[in-house]
Each structure stands twice: as structure tokens, then as C-alpha cells.
Structure 1
């Protein structure tokens, strides 16, 4: 990490200040990973997460890092973009004693953690010092997050598609219900489910709706 903070064409300053900066940067990355994991596991209470903003920051960071690395392998600016993403993530994770009842957003933090670990691994930085266990843990976390997200989406989608009361539903098959139009006031829910599916596809998560259930898989993205 120390070498990444200096352009490879430039001379490296082996001063105490530069070493402290490298340690501080590594510590900030590790602290964010731990805080984000704690939030995903429900151990941190905070105000409502601005999920769409974080998705935008993640997408912007990915594009910026690709561009600066393609421009003469500019690692200092790449690290600046990554640390900027971490800053915005930390701003959303400020703990509070009382929170309003609202939905949690573990998926976006799972995606951010996955990206940070992947890009730092590409740059040769082993964040957790145990690569195999870290990779397995990250994979399990992402799997659980996506599973819960898809399950919740399926529940919302089925509710949006249900068009008849319980008494009438007993006399119809699920195939008949699928052909009926949903109630007008539930169309926004159905649209939101489609938007979520489409937004996750570029991130490598493919959701397929199969009647009243949904399946998913993670496709490895190739740059």
C-alpha cells in the first residue's frame, strides 16, 4: 500500500510522515470493512441509508479507478477514489441510539466491500492477511445478502401481483392469477421490483422470475 500512494515514475519518500500516511490509509480501509460488516449483520444502528447515492458512488468509483489505472497506472488517484468511496460509506454508517423504523440496505455495502477487496487484491494489498478465509467469508456474506434481497423482492412482487381476496383465490390456480392484471395501486411495487432486477444485472447478479418464485445467480464480471 505504501508504494501505491506514490506514482511509480516518482521517487519514493521513505519518511516517517509517508509511512504514517500509509498505515493510516490501511487502518481506514480495515475499519470501514469491519463497520460495514457489523451493519450488514445488524450490529450497528444508524439512520436511513441513502442507498441510491451509495450505488452511484460505487459506480463512479469503479469508472474512475479504471480510467486512472489505464492512464499510466496512476495508483495515487486510484487510491484517492477508493478512499473517497470509503468516506461516503462511513458517513452513512454513523451509529445512533434511536432509529426510525425503516428498511436496511445491506446489499449496497456488500457490493462495496466486494469491490474494495477485489481491487485491493488486484493491486497486491492483502487486507485481512488470510486470503483464503477472507475470500470464503466474503463469498458467504455476499451469498446471504443476495439471498435475503431476492427473497424480499419475491415477497413484494407476489404481493403486487395478487389481485383477489383470500376467499376467491381458493378457487383459482396460480397460473390463472399470473395472467390477471395487478391492482393499479400496486403497479409501482411491481415496477420497483423490475428496476431492482435490472440494476443488479450490471453488477453480476442475475435474477430470473419463475412464476411466484425467483432464482438468482452471480456471474463473474470480466473487464
Structure 2
């Protein structure tokens, strides 16, 4: 039976989309809030533990972790409570729908035109805005038995039931793609606020941009323009892809391309070479002109810039840019020759810069010094390479002093051959250093 009725109670109750700032520990971070359309303080309930749930990604593949089919009883109980408390109704075809008219704040996450919610134009639902909690079984489709009859869960109820059961009646952060903000997250918030009898279930909704292929819309199974995780990892190191993600703000779209991967590889290689040069200096292999005062000032400025960027809605591109500037300043000093061999006066400052760079990337899950960074264990032939580099260095100095072009040519050939094997030699006057 069709019910032609208003799906909104009144204009005064509908569209109450105020966000409630939670009580608790102020992290000092500001994040973009899709309800207020502004950046707001990130306040979490517990200083030592942040509760977070994320939807997806919808990968339709082996990357799935949480199986809805293992939690069907939990989902049915969630729906039954909403049904018993008159927040849901059963339609003529046996499906169960959430009654949006019973929830005042629908349209909280994304503004919705009032005409979308007003009356039913025909169909089995009371209102066009009502969404399925339980879909009645159809021929040739999987189904489960329930209090409402055979069927399967609606899309939105799955996340609410799982997150609500694990985290509870209040969630610090709920994340997902920007395309999930409406209707998925909107409906999650509506049914969960109703289930827990609270005006706000999730305190912060963080939405990521889409992953695109070049000259295409977002990756989608229906458009057949996806790349599986397994296929990507055949050619791309996972650490490199992580760096590629850091190059874009989490709310921005990412264009997946060979150029992006090349840029990320270059960034990672730059960090590795920088740490190698720092270590060469600390071993006394580089005689460099280090300005302690300028270096510590640059480090202090970078630390402040990184802290400000991370507090500003996790602005990782600015972090990468700031780190790059610090490495450029330090590299310039490291590669400026000095006749002063007493590097110990400067070692503490160079060490501080190197450790800061390494620790920041560890925060992002990038261990630059890990031997697993190339997806396989790298045999450590450092002692042997040191002997070879020293021998080449002596031959090179002999060639320079005697103006022996053949000797210098052999040194260049050795350098080029080692580069093809992933060992890079850098000549600094009478001293040579190497890095992988």
C-alpha cells in the first residue's frame, strides 16, 4: 500500500545540521569538517587512543578484510532494534526501510534539497529519501533468514553495525572516499544516531579524494579502469606508492601514472642519498664546510613548518616540501669542500638533521634505511665495496697527478658499471663516497 505523506516533520526540525564539538583531549590539529564546511579542532575522547573506522575501499578482491557474511546475526539485531522502536518499517515486498521522517538531522553531511524529502511519487517506500536496511530476497541471489524474512542487508547498515559493535556509541574519526559522503555516510550517521539515541555518532568525517588513471574519471569496477593491488605491486614498490600518496593532500584526487611513480621514486632516492652523504661525513669520508648556526636554524624552521603542516589538516605535501628544503641546505654544506678535517665539531648538527628526516618518514611508515625497501633482502657487501672504492680512489688520484687519461677512463668505467648495479660513487676532490 502506497503512503502519500510528508517525509519531513517541519522546516524547523529538518536541516538542523549543527556539529557538536566533542569533549576530551584537544590534539592541536585542525581538520576539515564537512558539516560546518570549515576546519575545526580535532578533539578526541582519549588522549592515548583514537577510535577510527574507514569504509572500503570497494575493491571487490582479496584485499577485503572485514566479511559481512560473518556478522549477519549482528546486523539483523541492529535492524530489529530500529524496527522495534518504530524508526524502520517493512514494505510490501518484504524489505525493511529506515524512516527518514523520524530523524531530524538528515542532510547533516551534505546539504539536500527539501523537495528530495517531501513526498513519495510512487513505489514501495514511504518517501524517496528512505533507504533500505534489509532487502527482500530475489530469485537467483544469495539470501539469509531473518526476523523480517529471507533477504540480505542494505549497503549502509553493514558499516554501522560493524563499527558500532566494535567501537561503540561514539566514534572519533570515520573515513572514506568523498563519493561515500552521500548517501552512504549520511545514512550511516542517521541510523546510528537513532540506534544509540545520540545527536552525533561520528565526531569527525574525513573524506579522501579519488584515485584516477590519467585522462579518466575515478577508478571503478563498472568502468573497467581499475588496477589490482597484485598487478601494481609487480612493478611498484609499496614504499614508493606510499610516498606517492604523501605527495598529494588526502582530500585531493590522485592521478596514478608512471610520472607519479617516477616522482615518488626520485623523492625516495633523494632521501636515501642524503642519509648516505650524512653518514659519509660522519665517518670522515667527506671534508665539508658546515655552518653550525645556519644548519640548526634551518632545522628549527623545518621542524616548525612540519608541525604546522601536520596540524593543518595533515598537509603532507607541505611536509615533503619542507623536508626537501632542509636537505637542500644541508647538502650544499656537505658538498662544499673544506680543509678543516675536524668534523667532530659539526657531527652533532648533521646527525640531528639526518635523524629528524628519518623520523618524520618513519611516522609515515617509510623506513628509508630498511633493507626490505626494494622488496628483497639486500646483501650487505659494504666492506667489499669500501675496499673497491678506496682502490679506485687511489688509481684516480694517481691518474690526476700523472695526467694519465687511461687510468681516469678506467675509473669512470668502474663508476658507470657500479651505477648499473645500484651503487653510486660520488667524487669529492681527493675523497670518494658511495651509496646504494
TM-score range with shorter-chain normalisation?
0.5 to 0.7
Partner of 1:35: 277
Structure 2 unmatched ranges of 5 or more? 1-242, 373-436
Structure 1 unmatched ranges of 5 or more? 132-223
SS at match of 1:13: strand
Structure of larger gyration radius: 2
Cα contact 2:287–2:340 (8 A) shared by 1: no
SS at match of 2:249: coil
Determine the C-alpha separation between the residues in 2 that align with 1:24 and 1:2: 10
How far the C-alpha of 1:130 sits from its partner, in A, is 4.5
Q: Are 2:256 and 1:14 aligned? A: yes
Greater helix fraction, Structure 1 or Structure 2 = 1
How far the C-alpha of 1:102 sits from its partner, in A, is 5.7
- Matched residue pairs, number? 129
SS at match of 2:326: helix
Determine the C-alpha separation between the residues in 2 that align with 1:60 and 1:100: 27
How far the C-alpha of 1:17 sits from its partner, in A, is 1.4
SS at match of 2:264: helix
Cα contact 1:44–1:95 (8 A) shared by 2: no
Q: TM-score, normalised by structure 1?
A: 0.55
Partner of 1:24: 266
Determine the C-alpha separation between the residues in 2 that align with 1:65 and 1:123: 13
Note closer, same or farther for the CA distance 1:95–1:54 as it changes in structure 2 (3 Å cut): closer
How far the C-alpha of 1:114 sits from its partner, in A, is 1.2
| RMSD of aligned alpha carbons | 1.7
- Deviating beyond 6 angstroms after TM superposition, the runs of 4 or more aligned structure 1 residues are none
Determine the C-alpha separation between the residues in 2 that align with 1:130 and 1:102: 31
Determine the C-alpha separation between the residues in 1 that align with 2:341 and 2:356: 29
The 5-angstrom pairing of residues 167-182 of structure 1 reads none
How far the C-alpha of 1:2 sits from its partner, in A, is 1.0
Partner of 1:140: none
Cα deviations across residues 6-64 of structure 1 (Å, max 9, x unaligned)?
A: 11111111112111111111111100100001101101112x31111010011111110
The 5-angstrom pairing of residues 1-223 of structure 1 reads 1-46=243-288, 48-94=289-335, 96=337, 99-100=339-340, 104-130=345-371
Note closer, same or farther for the CA distance 1:109–1:100 as it changes in structure 2 (3 Å cut): closer
Q: Select the structure with the greater relative contact order (CA < 8 A; seq sep ≥ 6).
A: 1
Cα deviations across residues 159-197 of structure 1 (Å, max 9, x unaligned)?
A: xxxxxxxxxxxxxxxxxxxxxxxxxxxxxxxxxxxxxxx
Q: TM-score, normalised by structure 2?
A: 0.29
